[in-house]
C-alpha cells in the first residue's frame, strides 16, 4: 500500500465485509479484520454489556475501549461519533444526550451504515443520524459538536493529523473529545508493517504513542488526559503467521508493546474539565513544545 487512497479503499472494503461477519469472528481477530486467532479471547475490546444504551445487534466487537463511558456527555449535547460502524457507541451516547440532544454517526462503509440505520429505525431513535463520509472530511458545520467520540478508528487511517484538525473544527469552543485508539511504544516488526490485513486490523497502523499525543497538541487541543491504558498482547498463533519462531519470541518479550488508550482533550474556550477516571499523561508530554509543557494547562 503506497498511498492514503489505497489504504482508505482497503479499509472500506474490509469493513464492508466485516459488517457481514458474526461478532465471534470479530472478537477473535484484530478489530475484526485480521486473521482469526485459535486462542479464544478478545484481542482488543472491552465489554459493553451492562452499559445503558448498549444494542447487542450494533455491537460487532470492533472497539478497543469504551470512550463514551469517559466522554462527560451531558443531556442536550450534540455528539459526533467518528467511525460509527453499526451504531453501538452512537446509541450509548444517545442515552446520555437524552431526547433533547443529537448524535451524528460518521462512517464510510455502506454496509455498516445500512446496519446502523436499520438498528436506529427499528428502535424509533429519531435523534441519531448516520452520515456516509470520510472522518477527515465531515459534512457538518464548524462548531457543531459539544463532544466527539471515536472507538478504534483513527489507527486505521494514515492522515491522523488531518483527523485531529477536523475534530478541532467540529467542536464548539470548550468542547472536548474522548477517543479510544491503538498506539505502540517502539517499532513493530517489518513483517507486520507490510501486511495490509493487519493494517486494517489496527496493529500495523498504530502510531507511536508520543507522536500521537504530539498530534493532539499540534492541532490546538489543551487539557490532554489519558483516561485509560491497557497492554495489547497479540496471540502467538497470529504472530506466527508473519514472523519466524525466533522473531515471535523476541517480539513477545519486547518492551516496545502495543496499547489501547482512551484519550481526552479539550478545545480552548471553556473551563477545564477533569475527565475521570484518568491516568496522568506520561513523560511524553513533558518533552513537547512549550505550548503543551506541564503547567501550561494542556496536561
Contacts of 67 (CB under 8 A, 6+ apart): 89, 149, 150, 151, 178, 179, 180, 262
Task: Find cell 463511558 and name the residue.
Answer: 69
Q: Where are the beta strands (DSSP E) in the chain?
A: 78-82, 102-107, 128-132, 145-151, 171-184, 207-208, 222-232, 258-266
Q: Output the CA torsion 81→82→87→91 (10° steps).
A: -10
Alpha-carbon distances, residue 207 vs 29, 193, 218, 290 (angstroms) = 20, 11, 15, 22
Residues of the chain below pLDDT 50 = 1, 28, 33-36, 38-42, 278-299
- The pLDDT tens digits for 261-272 are 999 999 999 888
Neighbours of 206 (CB within 10 A): 25
Closest CA to 219 of 286, 255, 268: 268
What does the alpha-carbon distance between residue 234 and residue 232 come to, in Å, rounded to a whole number? 6
For residue 5, give Cα distances in angstroms to 83, 106, 136. 17, 18, 13
Residue 62, CA distances (Å) to 1, 30, 143, 163 in order: 23, 8, 28, 20
Beta bridge mates, 41: none
Buried b (16+ CB within 10 A) or exposed e, 167-205: bbbbbbeebbbbbbbbbbbeebbebbeebbbbbbbbbbb
pLDDT digit string, tens, across residues 233-259: 776 776 777 778 888 777 766 656 788
- Taking CA atoms, 109 is separated from 16, 37, 266, in Å, by 6, 25, 28
Amino acid at each position: 500500500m503506497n498511498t492514503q487512497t489505497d489504504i482508505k479503499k482497503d479499509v472500506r472494503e474490509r469493513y464492508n465485509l466485516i459488517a457481514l461477519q458474526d461478532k465471534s469472528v470479530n472478537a477473535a481477530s484484530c478489530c475484526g479484520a485480521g486473521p482469526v486467532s485459535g486462542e479464544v479471547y478478545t484481542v482488543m475490546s472491552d465489554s459493553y454489556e451492562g452499559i445503558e444504551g448498549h444494542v447487542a445487534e450494533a455491537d460487532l466487537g470492533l472497539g478497543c475501549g469504551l470512550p463514551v463511558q469517559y466522554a462527560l456527555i451531558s443531556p442536550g449535547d450534540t455528539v459526533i461519533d467518528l467511525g460509527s460502524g453499526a451504531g453501538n457507541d452512537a446509541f450509548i451516547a444517545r442515552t446520555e444526550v437524552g431526547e433533547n440532544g443529537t448524535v451524528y454517526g460518521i462512517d464510510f462503509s455502506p454496509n455498516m451504515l445500512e446496519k446502523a440505520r436499520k438498528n436506529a429505525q427499528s428502535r424509533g431513535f429519531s435523534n441519531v443520524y448516520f452520515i456516509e463520509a470520510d472522518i477527515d472530511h465531515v459534512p457538518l458545520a464548524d462548531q457543531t459538536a459539544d463532544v466527539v467520540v471515536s472507538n478504534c478508528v483513527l489507527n486505521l487511517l494514515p492522515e491522523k493529523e488531518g483527523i485531529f484538525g477536523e475534530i478541532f473544527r467540529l467542536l464548539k469552543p470548550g468542547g472536548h473529545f474522548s477517543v479510544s485508539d491503538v498506539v505502540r511504544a517502539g517499532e513493530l516488526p517489518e513483517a507486520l508493517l507490510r501486511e495490509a490485513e493487519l493494517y486494517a486490523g489496527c496493529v500495523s497502523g498504530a502510531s507511536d504513542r508520543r507522536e500521537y499525543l504530539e498530534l493532539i497538541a499540534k492541532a490546538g487541543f489543551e487539557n490532554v488526559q489519558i483516561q485509560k491504558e491497557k497492554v495489547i498482547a497479540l496471540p502467538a498463533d497470529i504472530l506466527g503467521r508473519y514472523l519466524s519462531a525466533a522473531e515471535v519470541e523476541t517480539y513477545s518479550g519486547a518492551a516496545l508493546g502495543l496499547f489501547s488508550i482512551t484519550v481526552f482533550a479539550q478545545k480552548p474556550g471553556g473551563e477545564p474539565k477533569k475527565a475521570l477516571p484518568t491516568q496522568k499523561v506520561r513523560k511524553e508530554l513533558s518533552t513537547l513544545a512549550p505550548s503543551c509543557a506541564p503547567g501550561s494547562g494542556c496536561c
